């Protein structure tokens, strides 16, 4: 009874009720809540502390910010109170400001992708250097929305873009159609067991995809199997880091990968790797730092051979 009384007392504050309603709709940091509610940061922090003490919200560190999200679900004793907060009137216009904030956040994310993801941040260099390469058969492991795939397709003979998510592949197809690129084949498949013939590719690329898979060695073995003699596997990956939030929010299986792990797996698959370290993608303060590993397949076939 005391906990229920405390909950009613806590949610009796109009500002606190507004904050709970916003966080029930979207994950927000303190600065964003301040901008939406229009009260001081110290006051917002106090309200968040009270809501967290009731186990109504949780906090998690995402990069340099702490974000708050709804912790309770339908089984929680206080769920009816949360539902009342979510369906309450909005005389201050908080919902409209929240929608605008989320739209700006999405715009910033899109811009960051264009600036930071391989293939867009170095668009001109990619086009220039690509013109020096022979037309190759390329396979893009974990292509996502196709940012790198499109750049590869500008100079490759053919690109096979692979991802396990059909909705993500649909976005990549749409992007390719907008660019008028017709030399891309999109494939929804498990990277550990691909329906592609052995020795059919000149280049296999994996750009920050391996930290999403459980069996890294199996994926690298598949990449090696697809390569023709003298074909190359190129892997861009993250060094080990301690950002646990990427598992729940981004679906990472691993908090980065040791370069030595990739090198050992490449050698086991019959590739001779060379490791080259790269600077941090987001600046020296970022916890995410990338490295590049390349491996070349020997002339003599290695490992299992399988037809499509």
pLDDT tens per residue across span 156-213: 999 999 999 898 899 999 999 998 999 999 999 999 999 999 999 999 999 999 999 9
Among the listed residues 210, 281, 209, the one whose alpha carbon sits nearest the alpha carbon of residue 63: 281
C-alpha–C-alpha distance, residues 245 and 251, integer Å: 9
Percent of the chain with pLDDT over 70: 80
C-alpha–C-alpha distance, residues 170 and 180, integer Å: 15
pLDDT band at 244 (very low <50, low <70, confident <90, very high): confident
Res 219 pLDDT > 90: yes
pLDDT band at 111 (very low <50, low <70, confident <90, very high): very low
| Averaged pLDDT for residues 52-64 | 81
237 exposure class (CB count in 10 Å sphere: 0-12, 13-18, 19+): buried
Q: Is pTM, for the whole model, over 0.75?
A: no
Domain ranges, ordered by start, for the chain: 2-108, 116-297
Q: Which letter, b or e, does each residue of 105-127 get, where b requires 16 or more Cβ atoms within 10 Å of its Cβ?
A: eeeeeeeeeeeebbbeeeeeebe
Res 286 pLDDT > 70: no
3-state secondary structure of 222: helix
Is residue 185 within 8 Å of residue 162, measured between CB atoms?
no
Longest pairwise C-alpha distance within the chain: 75
| Averaged pLDDT for residues 259-265 | 93
C-alpha–C-alpha distance, residues 154 and 174, integer Å: 16
Is the CATH number 1.10.10.10 carried by domain 2-108? yes
CATH number of 116-297: 3.40.50.150
Lowest average pLDDT, out of 83-87, 124-128, 223-227, goes to 124-128
Is residue 78 within 8 Å of residue 7, measured between CB atoms?
yes
Could you tell me how far CA 73 lies from the centroid of its own chain? 25
| Averaged pLDDT for residues 81-91 | 78
C-alpha–C-alpha distance, residues 297 and 256, integer Å: 25
| Strand 65-70 versus strand 184-188 pairing type | unpaired
For the chain, how far is it from start to end, CA to CA, in angstroms? 65
Length of the chain: 308
pLDDT of residue 300: 61
pLDDT of residue 307: 44
């Amino acid at each position: 009874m005391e906990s229920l009384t405390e909950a009613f007392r806590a949610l009796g504050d109009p500002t606190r009720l507004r904050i709970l309603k916003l966080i029930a709709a979207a994950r927000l940091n303190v600065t964003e809540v301040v901008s939406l509610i229009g009260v001081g940061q110290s006051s917002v922090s106090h309200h968040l502390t009270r809501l967290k003490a009731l186990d109504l919200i949780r906090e998690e560190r995402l990069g340099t910010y702490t974000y708050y999200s709804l912790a309770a679900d339908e089984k929680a004793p206080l769920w009816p109170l949360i539902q009342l907060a979510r369906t309450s009137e909005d005389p201050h216009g908080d919902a409209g400001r929240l929608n605008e904030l989320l739209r700006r956040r999405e715009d910033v994310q899109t811009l960051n992708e264009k600036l930071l993801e391989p293939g867009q941040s170095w668009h001109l260099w990619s086009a220039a250097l690509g013109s020096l390469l022979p037309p190759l058969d390329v396979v893009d492991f974990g292509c996502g929305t196709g940012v790198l795939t499109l750049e590869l397709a500008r100079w490759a003979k053919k690109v096979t873009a692979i991802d396990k998510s059909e909705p993500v592949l649909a976005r990549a197809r749409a992007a390719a159609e907008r660019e008028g690129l017709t030399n891309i084949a999109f494939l929804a498949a498990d990277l550990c067991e691909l329906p592609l013939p052995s020795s059919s590719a000149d280049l296999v690329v994996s750009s920050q995809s391996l930290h999403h898979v459980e069996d890294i060695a199996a994926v690298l073995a598949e990449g090696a199997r697809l390569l023709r003699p003298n074909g190359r596997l190129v892997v861009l990956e993250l060094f080990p880091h301690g950002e646990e939030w990427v598992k729940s929010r981004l679906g990472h299986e691993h908090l980065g990968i040791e370069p030595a792990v990739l090198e050992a797996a490449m050698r086991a698959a019959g590739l001779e790797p060379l490791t080259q370290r790269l600077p941090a993608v987001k600046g020296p303060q970022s916890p995410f730092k990338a490295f590049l590993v390349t491996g070349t397949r020997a002339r003599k076939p290695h490992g299992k051979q399988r037809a499509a």
